[in-house]
Amino acid sequence: MPLIGKSSYRAPSWLRGGHAQTIFPALFRKVPRVTSRRERLELPDGDFLDLEWADQGRERLAILSHGLEAHCGTEYMQGMAAALVANGWDVLVWNFRGCGHKPNRLLRMYHSGATEDLDAVVSHALARHPAAEIDLIGFSLGGNLTLKYLGENPSALSTRLHRAVAFSTPCDLACSSRTLSKFSNKIYMERFLINMRSKIRAKKRLFPEKLDLHGLNLIRTFQQFDDRFTAPIHGFRDAADYWKRNSSRQFIPQITVPTLLVNAENDPFLGPDCYPREEAAASDVFHFEAPEEGGHVGFSPVGGAGEYWSESRAIGFLKEG
């Protein structure tokens, strides 16, 4: 029954509340880039994924997946990569479709359930890297992607997949979307939508007959955006269908790889259905931890500098097996 009752995380005394704990590391943390070797992975559908490696042929490899509108160089990605390298791992980080230096080739982009792309990255790593053990780490949307990948077809996974960790994961997408639509979260919603609207405009230039941008600037919520663009572009009926089919919580009971999910209780992006305590209580391999504080992909250390708690926590869990 791996439901972790009490977390070891304690926020700095000067950094109080979920919003501050979310915003501070996003704005003020600076991490040197660890993943320096770039590679383009061509996909069977004619598109591509851009990868970055920190690799020395070590026995353990970690594959990191970022969050919504993030990328390989986002501070939490490079912070985790640096901690892993310092502890003996090679690291592979990857940009979702449309999140790299160049737009992807196809109309489709990334979305919360695009596990075929994560599978392509894992398969490439299995074929090219000598590691005996491969670990997966996902943040936010990348955490949902990781959990869904592990649970949707567990019998097809390689035996070299060792352990997995997810942080700040909206494992119920409808619940998270409703939560982010609250007035108190307007700053986050608008920041995401600025980038997402820009990408749709870029797609319109590449595929002028495929998209209608009428009213794009009036979109104010994920439901409106996903109804209008995400769902039809990626083959879903509407936002509700997209969220229902891609929420990772429904896949958690099928996970067979030892996995840790950490969602802070004061995460402003997550609602009550994003805390899968029942699934953890019923599982032998799925561990759930809910620190009282930490914000969304926050978990700043006391003092606000150096290795973050999320990095030491992930490494500790990965070393248990």
Q: Provide the annotated active-site residues.
A: 140, 267, 296
C-beta of residue 103 within 8 angstroms of C-beta of residue 206? yes
The alpha helices in the chain, defined as continuous H runs, are 18-28, 75-86, 115-128, 141-152, 173-180, 186-206, 222-225, 231-233, 239-246, 277-281, 309-320
Number of Cβ within 10 Å of residue 237's Cβ equals 12
Nearest to 23 by CA among 269, 286, 311: 269
C-beta of residue 67 within 8 angstroms of C-beta of residue 141? yes
Please give the order of strands across the beta sheet that includes 259-262: 3-4, 286-289, 259-262, 161-167, 133-139, 60-65, 90-94, 48-54, 37-42
